[in-house]
Amino acid sequence: MGRSAISFGLVLMAGYALVQTGQGAPTAAEPAAALDAIRQYALSYTKNLPNYTCTQTTHQIVLRGLLPPPPMELIEEQLSFSDNKEIRKVTKINGIPASPDGPDQLRGTPLRGEFGYLLDIIFKPETGANIKFERLAKLDGRRVYVFAFRVPQSSGYVLRESKRTIQVPFQGSVYADYETRAVVRIDMKCTDIPRDSEYMNAALTLDYKPANVAGREFVLPSHYQLHFQMVRGLEMSSADYTDYRRFSADATVQFEGVKQ
């Protein structure tokens, strides 16, 4: 593996160092009460979001076999959330304005709604997820509850292969703010992937942080790290969400050098 891929892998792992353990044990009843509040928060998360627009900046690299690693791609998208639907437009690729139509628009992030979707899947009772209190910890200096979870195949994560899609179980940890019960991180990995799959491993970390939209504070997507190990190579991406503002139906995406 080339130096650029190794460096990128170190960047992906940096977020894990922010978690500290050993914050003391809660009372016996506290985790159960906290889980009820966290579940209520998670299941109403998407409904309580404002209509917003933000900038998503993604670094991604795809490695194939023993070939020299290609340059890392930098993709900028305008992401809008309106009436519980995502609207995406790729605006720049490696600093060059993207075409408003055509192949450039297919080169955005592989994620589609995971920030809300995973909250719903993990905490919806009918999913049948196994959720257990794990520990108290600190994340970015704030005290958090950490709950371990496992989601069965019937509600599992969808992996898209070249000729089919498969659904596999996944497991991981949910980090929720000790004071507000807001989910601030989901850390998950796929399990029991079939042997004949194009995927060998798949892992995803989602981070949420407070952001201001039209004078109000909401806990919104902040960062994600995605890692796919496949039979034919390795795919890694990492993205940041910035410049949150209220969504306007009259707003247009500005593509440099292209008349609107």
Name the residue ranges covered by the structural domains of the chain: 3-96+115-246
**pLDDT of residue 23 exceeding 70:** no
pLDDT at residue 4 tops 60? no
Residue 259 has pLDDT above 50, yes or no: no
What tokens were used for 117?
């979707």
Higher per-residue pLDDT: 254 or 246 = 246
Q: How far is CA 166 from CA 153, 156, 192, 193, 235, in A?
A: 10, 9, 11, 9, 18
For 141-163, write each residue's pLDDT tens digit: 999 999 999 999 999 999 999 99
Q: Which amino acid is at 183?
A: V
Could you report the per-residue pLDDT of 88-138, keeping only the tens digit for each?
A: 999 999 999 999 888 888 887 777 789 999 999 999 999 999 999 999 999
| Band of residue 19 on the pLDDT scale cut at 50, 70, 90 | low
C-beta contacts of 5-12 below 8 A and 24+ residues apart? 5/61, 5/63, 5/69, 5/234, 5/236, 8/59, 8/61, 8/72, 8/236, 8/238, 9/236, 11/59, 11/238, 12/225, 12/227, 12/236, 12/238
Residue-wise pLDDT tens digits, 114-126: 999 999 999 999 9
Report the C-alpha gap between 186 and 115 in whole angstroms: 9
Residue 64 reports pLDDT greater than 90: no
| pTM for the predicted model, two decimal places | 0.85
Instruction: Give residue 77's pLDDT.
Output: 95
Check pLDDT > 80 for residue 198: yes
The proportion of the chain whose per-residue pLDDT surpasses 90, expressed as a percent, equals 70
DSSP 78: E
pLDDT digits (tens, 9 = 90+) for 48-62: 999 999 999 999 998
Residue 256: predicted pLDDT: 52
pLDDT over 90 at 67, yes or no: no
